[in-house]
Amino acid sequence: MLVVTRIRTYGGHMSHLTHRLVPGPAGRIHLVEQGTGPLVLLLHGFPESWYSWRHQLPVLAAAGYRAVAVDVRGYGRSSRPEAVAAYRMTELVEDNAAVVEALGERSAVVVGHDWGATIAAHSALLKPEVFHAVALLSVPYTPPGGPRPSEVFAGIGGEEEFYVSYFQEPGRAEREIEPDVRGWLAGFYAALSADTMPTSTADAHHMPADPHFVAPGGQLRDRFPAGRLPAWLTEDDLDVYAGEFERTGLTGALNRYRAMDQDWKDLAAYAGAPIRRPSLFLGGALDASTTWLSDAIDAFPTTLPGLHAAHLLDGCGHWIQQERPEEVGRHLTEWLGSVTSGR
């Protein structure tokens, strides 16, 4: 195991962070940790990295936890297998279990945002003996089962194409992103942030131009807001994200979308299964992930019977732990106190 300890300045404050490369099923897993105490595993979403937890690492460490933010398979310094099948949910769950073992622990609380929330949820579902509590940010839990994902997404949007279908076609999104990774990321982050969401109109009915859809013959970036970064994202922050993806490309990250139908097969035995471990949900009231999936939130008494609380933050978009770091830190530490006491 390679251990590299560094002191770096991120977001204007000094943090003592330990960077590690640990062995995983696909090769290596890069993680960043701070603090000592019960292990809390932090999983990012698309298109981010461990860096999206930069505000929570010191908060959790100060509260008495060993906070560990991972570069999910396909991102950053973690391994990037070529095969789409390597990005199945079952593979990503095994990565998380490997991190817990490599760090010398037997169990952990798992916290995820966006795709990381879905990975965290399935970690608690498939390996409840390892992941004894789970917090989901932005994307609520929906149990496995139902129609095949690609068929569902293909039917959304009418003449326009839903972004998931757009991402699922190999190479297509890469051709859009690669010429200007930094500009594309800035636009994507802005499109889903509360203070920079698009307000232009798409048609005669004065419906907002939704950045989750692609017009015929167009690109996803056609509806990104231009010229202004969200308040939570500095130029230096954007440099960190852009630098990672300019080095690695986006294919590893996008392959998560391309493996969804294989998940549907792999997880058939868990169709409709609830997560019984203690749980927490945090979402942004302006986030499409919470408005489109409001039925999933309503179903939490059935799907998350161990739910401690579900909080929707007013005026908040998709990037919740970066848009509202203080509130997210407070909710997480309060909840963690209830699920780790006595362990």
Q: What is the pLDDT of residues 306-328, one digit of tens each?
A: 999 999 999 999 999 999 999 99
Averaged pLDDT of the chain? 92
More confident residue, 297 or 156: 297
Q: Counting every residue, how long is the chain?
A: 343
Whole-prediction pTM? 0.94
Order across the sheet with 307-313: list the strands. Answer: 2-10, 13-24, 27-34, 66-70, 39-43, 108-113, 131-137, 279-284, 307-313
pLDDT tier, 153 (very low <50, low <70, confident <90, very high otherwise):
confident
pLDDT tier, 199 (very low <50, low <70, confident <90, very high otherwise):
low
Catalytic residues: 114, 318
Task: Say how far apart CA 30 and CA 110 lie, in whole Å.
Answer: 16
Q: Which residues pair with 155 in a beta bridge?
A: none
Q: Could you tell me whether strands 213-214 and 161-162 are parallel, antiparallel, or unpaired per DSSP bridges?
A: antiparallel
> Does residue 202 surpass a pLDDT of 60?
no
The residue-averaged pLDDT of 331-341 equals 94
Per-residue model confidence (pLDDT) at position 151: 85
The residue-averaged pLDDT of 7-23 equals 67
**Nearest by Cα to 88 from 64, 115, 61:** 115
Task: Say how far apart CA 273 and CA 302 lie, in whole Å.
Answer: 9
Per-residue model confidence (pLDDT) at position 1: 43
End-to-end distance of the chain based on CA atoms, in angstroms?
A: 27
Distance from the Cα of residue 61 to its chain's centroid: 21
**Paired tokens of 214:** 């692609």
> Does residue 41 surpass a pLDDT of 90?
yes
8 Å CB contact between 149 and 262 = no
Q: Which domains does the chain have, with CATH numbers?
A: 2-145+270-340 (3.40.50.1820), 149-254 (no CATH)
Per-residue model confidence as pLDDT tens digits over 80-132? 999 999 999 999 999 999 999 999 999 999 999 999 999 999 999 999 999 99
